[in-house]
């Protein structure tokens, strides 16, 4: 046997032993035999370093500590999930799924525990682990490849029949036993212990030194898919999870397929009953439509898939006392009452602040300083005051009132009839609003000023260097270099990032302005409808309300913002300072090829992704909807088209393919 063959055989044997021990929990050989083979592998690699490869078991911990994590842009966004708390929420979810699929048939769902850990993405190229990343903001995460390589439940090479490129999603967590053991060992060394397994897992994975991560009892379960190239997926999620196991990836043994609402609720109650005995922390269960084709038909909202939902367990509660009630001022001037509490441990963390939402909630719950209150926390939900214990109220406790003036800038506080929110009228005059507005303006999904973090914004605003977002474009590298902890090199880099952010898109710019009630989806709808900023600024309330999905409240917010002299002045300054975007084809008042036509896309198109096809239709004046009705003009159907195609044929609606769509758009 050649040396290379001997080396490959050793690596394959050790990988099999790792899989049996760490993934299947079924050790094949005694520890002494494993250690003997590992030492033999180390000896060969030490004598022949040219034969060392990244997928060798000896390379799980290697290299020097990192100075900082790099960024990884996910090939497919890692979306969050909508939540269900009541049985009625689950029933509503199932009803929405069936309505969108236009079927009365019972839906099959894949069910799994919702792990309380840290979401990760692993990308394998030709079966080798290439990169691993945290979820981050869903679009960009931290590169923690070196740390993930130290985990024995993360295979360095896949086994079996795998695609040329596959991106799998999972969760890093710490078992109850591992967490307890780690804390015992830390106490014995006189070191600080962790508060809960989730924080311990997140902190351990984000160590800059992989050698430290390697000492932590981290585990992982895998359950999802991102990008796939050079291979096909099975038709259902359950079959995909089975495929993960064949590739050598560890999956949760508690997954199963359930039929309809009754099946979902039965699974939820079963897992809830067995939750204390699972050996790891969960905060609910996740339901996913099992058939991938149905998932594709259901599609996505801005931040979450329509085909999945997290059913949370009841919130954890604890008693504590209100020390003070303060009013926080947000980006849009909204005043939010916040209860400052005697610290209390609830839901795995120590809570010292809890939101009271708005003045109506404060009045309804009748929370006063000195009250004993029930604090509720469910998973990652912001802690809230659930209720007051009135029999423990101290004598003379006075109900807090909405302040007449902003606690930050002293401007008048105004409340529009019918709105629960009261707002500071100071606008950019208010230091709190100014800070939050600039942070929002520079955020990744807005103008995307790389390197301009919250602390830097605070410094700039407090120093009087930035009074509105427009002032960002007046900053120079010399000015930035004078800030605390900002060297010349960093200042130059940030100045370049600010300059490059001037070239943007109209939807990003509208979202960045921070118009109340205007999120990313509304900003996109406005941009597509008006095409450019001048027509939007000149539009009447009625014309704005004509934009799809823009109601009277949102239209009034937009009109008031653009009509405010101070805010309009900031917009003018931004344009004068060089902020630019490519003007979009305008769907209002211009004849576009698909003007007045309504389309539904279904199935898999030969070359266009469904979102690409829908974007092209909108760009050329057409309207895209998710379901087929008598108002539909065309159904664009690809391979594996399902119930929507059948409905179109039943109603006599024109069905076209990708080629016909391209001919209508005069593109090739």
CA-based nearest residue to 288, from 252, 266, 255, 314: 255
Q: For the residues of 160-195, what is the DSSP string, one character each?
A: SS--SEEEEEEEEEE-HHHHHHHHHHHHHTTPPPPS
pLDDT, residue 342, reads 95
408 compared with 26, residue with greater pLDDT: 408
Would you say 375 and 341 are in contact if contact means Cβ atoms under 8 Å apart? yes
Instruction: Give the span between the Cα atoms of 64 and 67, in whole angstroms.
Output: 9
* Residues with catalytic function: 114
CA-based nearest residue to 78, from 133, 29, 135, 7: 135
Would you say 529 and 515 are in contact if contact means Cβ atoms under 8 Å apart? no
Instruction: Give the span between the Cα atoms of 120 and 156, in whole angstroms.
Output: 15
Instruction: Give the span between the Cα atoms of 568 and 198, in whole angstroms.
Output: 46
Would you say 240 and 247 are in contact if contact means Cβ atoms under 8 Å apart? no
Q: Is the pLDDT of residue 310 over 90?
A: yes
Strands 413-414 and 384-388: unpaired
Tens of pLDDT, residues 243-290? 999 999 999 999 999 999 999 999 999 999 999 899 999 989 999 999
Q: For 523-535, what is the mean pLDDT?
A: 89
| Average pLDDT of the residues of the chain | 87
CA-based nearest residue to 154, from 182, 179, 173, 178: 173
Q: Which two tokens stand for residue 269?
A: 């109650």
Q: C-alpha dihedral over 585, 591, 593, 595, to 10 degrees?
A: 90
Q: For the residues of 402-458, what is the DSSP string, one character each?
A: --SB-TTT-PBEE--TT-S--EETTGGGSHHHHHHHHHHHHSTTTT--TT--HHHHH
pLDDT, residue 19, reads 66
pLDDT, residue 31, reads 57
Instruction: Give the span between the Cα atoms of 631 and 605, in whole angstroms.
Output: 23
pTM of the model: 0.56
pLDDT, residue 432, reads 93
Angle formed at CA 610 by CA 608 and CA 615, multiple of 5 degrees: 90
pLDDT, residue 278, reads 94
* Reported confidence tier of residue 417, pLDDT bands at 50, 70, 90: confident
pLDDT, residue 63, reads 46
Q: Is the pLDDT of residue 555 over 80?
A: yes
Catalogue the E-assigned strands of 306-358.
308-312, 316-329, 335-346, 349-355
Q: For 234-241, what is the mean pLDDT?
A: 96
32 compared with 42, residue with greater pLDDT: 42
The upper half-sphere exposure of residue 85, i.e. CA atoms within 13 Å in the direction of its Cβ, equals 7
Instruction: Give the span between the Cα atoms of 299 and 600, in whole angstroms.
Output: 12
Helix axes 176-188 and 197-205, enclosed angle (nearest 10) = 80
Look at 145-159, 363-377, 444-458, 638-652 and tell me which has the smallest mean pLDDT. Answer: 638-652
Strands 118-125 and 165-174: antiparallel
Instruction: Give the span between the Cα atoms of 399 and 391, in whole angstroms.
Output: 16
pLDDT, residue 612, reads 74
* Reported confidence tier of residue 170, pLDDT bands at 50, 70, 90: very high
Q: Is the pLDDT of residue 14 over 90?
A: no
Q: Is the pLDDT of residue 56 over 90?
A: no
CA-based nearest residue to 642, from 21, 13, 92, 105: 105
CA-based nearest residue to 509, from 583, 566, 590, 569: 583
Q: For 538-546, what is the mean pLDDT?
A: 90
Q: Is the pLDDT of residue 326 over 70?
A: yes
Q: For 480-486, what is the mean pLDDT?
A: 88
Question: Alpha carbon of 418 to those of 219, 446, 555: distances in Å?
Answer: 50, 30, 16
Q: For 503-521, what is the mean pLDDT?
A: 90
Q: Is the pLDDT of residue 21 over 70?
A: no
Tens of pLDDT, residues 622-649? 777 777 888 889 999 887 777 788 888 8
Q: Is the pLDDT of residue 30 over 70?
A: no
Q: For 144-161, what is the mean pLDDT?
A: 92
Instruction: Give the span between the Cα atoms of 158 and 56, in whole angstroms.
Output: 13
Strands lying side by side in the sheet with 308-312: 83-84, 308-312, 282-289, 108-115, 256-259
Which DSSP state fits 140? E
pLDDT, residue 643, reads 76
Look at 13-27, 407-421, 642-656 and tell me which has the smallest mean pLDDT. Answer: 13-27
* Reported confidence tier of residue 23, pLDDT bands at 50, 70, 90: low
- What radius of gyration do the chain's Cα atoms show? 28
Q: What is the 3-state secondary structure (H, E, C) of 190-230?
A: CCCCCCCHHHHHHHHHCCCCHHHHHCCCEEEEEEEEEEEEC
Would you say 72 and 133 are in contact if contact means Cβ atoms under 8 Å apart? yes
218 compared with 565, residue with greater pLDDT: 218
pLDDT, residue 637, reads 87
Instruction: Give the span between the Cα atoms of 41 and 28, in whole angstroms.
Output: 19
Tens of pLDDT, residues 185-208? 988 888 888 878 888 898 899 888
Q: Is the pLDDT of residue 108 over 80?
A: yes
pLDDT, residue 67, reads 55
Tens of pLDDT, residues 350-364? 899 998 988 888 999
Q: Is the pLDDT of residue 440 over 60?
A: yes
Instruction: Give the span between the Cα atoms of 475 and 463, in whole angstroms.
Output: 13
Q: Is the pLDDT of residue 329 over 70?
A: yes
Q: Quick one: residue 666, left, alpha or beta (phi over 0 = left, psi -120 to 50 = alpha)?
A: left
């Amino acid at each position: 046997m050649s040396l290379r063959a001997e080396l490959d055989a050793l690596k394959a044997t050790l990988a099999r032993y790792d899989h049996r021990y760490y993934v299947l929990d079924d050790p094949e050989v005694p520890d002494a035999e494993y250690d003997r083979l590992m030492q033999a592998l180390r000896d060969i690699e030490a004598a022949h370093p040219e034969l060392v490869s990244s997928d060798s078991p000896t390379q799980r911990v290697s290299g020097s500590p990192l100075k900082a994590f790099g960024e990884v842009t996910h090939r497919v966004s890692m979306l969050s999930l909508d939540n269900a708390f009541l049985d009625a929420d689950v029933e509503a979810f199932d009803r929405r799924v069936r309505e969108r699929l236009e079927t009365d048939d019972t839906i099959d769902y894949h069910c799994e525990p919702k792990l309380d850990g840290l979401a990760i993405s692993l990308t394998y190229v030709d079966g080798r682990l290439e990169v691993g990343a945290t979820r981050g903001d869903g679009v960009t995460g931290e590169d923690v490849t070196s740390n993930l390589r130290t985990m024995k439940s993360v295979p360095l090479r896949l086994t079996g029949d795998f695609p040329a490129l596959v991106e799998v999603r999972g969760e890093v967590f710490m078992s109850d036993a591992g967490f307890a053991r780690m804390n015992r060992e830390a106490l014995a060394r006189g070191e600080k212990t962790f508060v809960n397994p989730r924080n311990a897992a997140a902190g351990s994975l984000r160590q800059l030194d992989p050698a430290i991560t390697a000492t932590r009892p981290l585990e992982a379960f895998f359950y999802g898919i991102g990008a796939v190239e050079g291979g096909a997926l099975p038709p259902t999620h359950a079959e995909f999870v089975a495929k993960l196991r064949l590739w050598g990836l560890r999956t949760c043994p508690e997954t199963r397929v359930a039929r309809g609402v009754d099946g979902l609720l039965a699974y939820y109650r079963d897992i809830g009953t067995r939750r204390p005995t699972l050996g790891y922390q969960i905060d609910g269960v996740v339901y996913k439509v099992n058939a991938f084709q149905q998932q594709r038909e259901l599609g996505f909202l801005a931040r979450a898939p329509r085909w999945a939902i997290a059913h949370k367990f009841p919130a954890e509660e604890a008693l504590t006392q209100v020390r003070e009630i303060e009013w926080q001022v947000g980006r849009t001037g909204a005043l939010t009452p916040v209860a400052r509490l005697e610290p209390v441990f609830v839901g795995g963390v120590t809570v010292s602040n809890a939101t009271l939402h708005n003045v109506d909630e404060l009045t309804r719950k009748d929370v006063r300083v000195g009250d004993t209150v029930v604090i509720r926390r469910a998973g990652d939900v912001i802690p809230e005051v659930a209720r007051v214990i009135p029999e423990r109220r101290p004598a003379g406790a006075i109900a807090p009132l909405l302040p007449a003036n902003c606690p930050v800038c002293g401007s008048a506080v105004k409340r529009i009839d019918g709105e629960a929110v009261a707002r500071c009228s100071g606008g950019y005059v208010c230091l709190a609003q100014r800070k939050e507005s600039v942070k929002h303006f520079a955020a990744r999904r807005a103008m995307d000023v790389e390197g301009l973090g919250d602390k830097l914004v605070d410094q700039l605003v407090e120093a009087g260097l930035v009074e509105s977002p427009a002032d960002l474009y007046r900053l120079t590298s010399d000015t930035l270099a004078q800030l605390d902890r900002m060297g010349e090199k960093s200042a130059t880099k940030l100045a370049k990032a600010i300059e490059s952010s001037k070239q943007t898109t109209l939807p990003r710019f509208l979202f960045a302005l921070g118009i109340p009630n205007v999120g990313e989806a509304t900003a996109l709808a406005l941009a597509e409808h008006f095409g450019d900023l001048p027509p939007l600024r000149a539009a009447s309330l009625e014309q704005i309300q004509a934009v799809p999905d823009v109601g009277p409240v949102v239209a009034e917010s937009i009109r008031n913002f653009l009509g405010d002299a101070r805010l309009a002045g900031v917009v003018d300054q931004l344009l004068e300072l060089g902020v630019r975007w490519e003007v979009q084809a305008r769907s209002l008042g211009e004849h576009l090829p698909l003007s007045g036509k309504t389309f539904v896309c279904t199935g898999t198109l030969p070359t266009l992704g469904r979102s690409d096809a829908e974007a092209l239709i909108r760009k050329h004046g057409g309207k895209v909807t998710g379901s087929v009705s008598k108002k539909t003009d065309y159904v664009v159907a690809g391979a594996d088209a399902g119930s929507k195609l059948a409905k179109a044929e039943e109603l006599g609606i024109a069905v076209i393919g990708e080629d016909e769509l391209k001919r209508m758009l005069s593109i090739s």
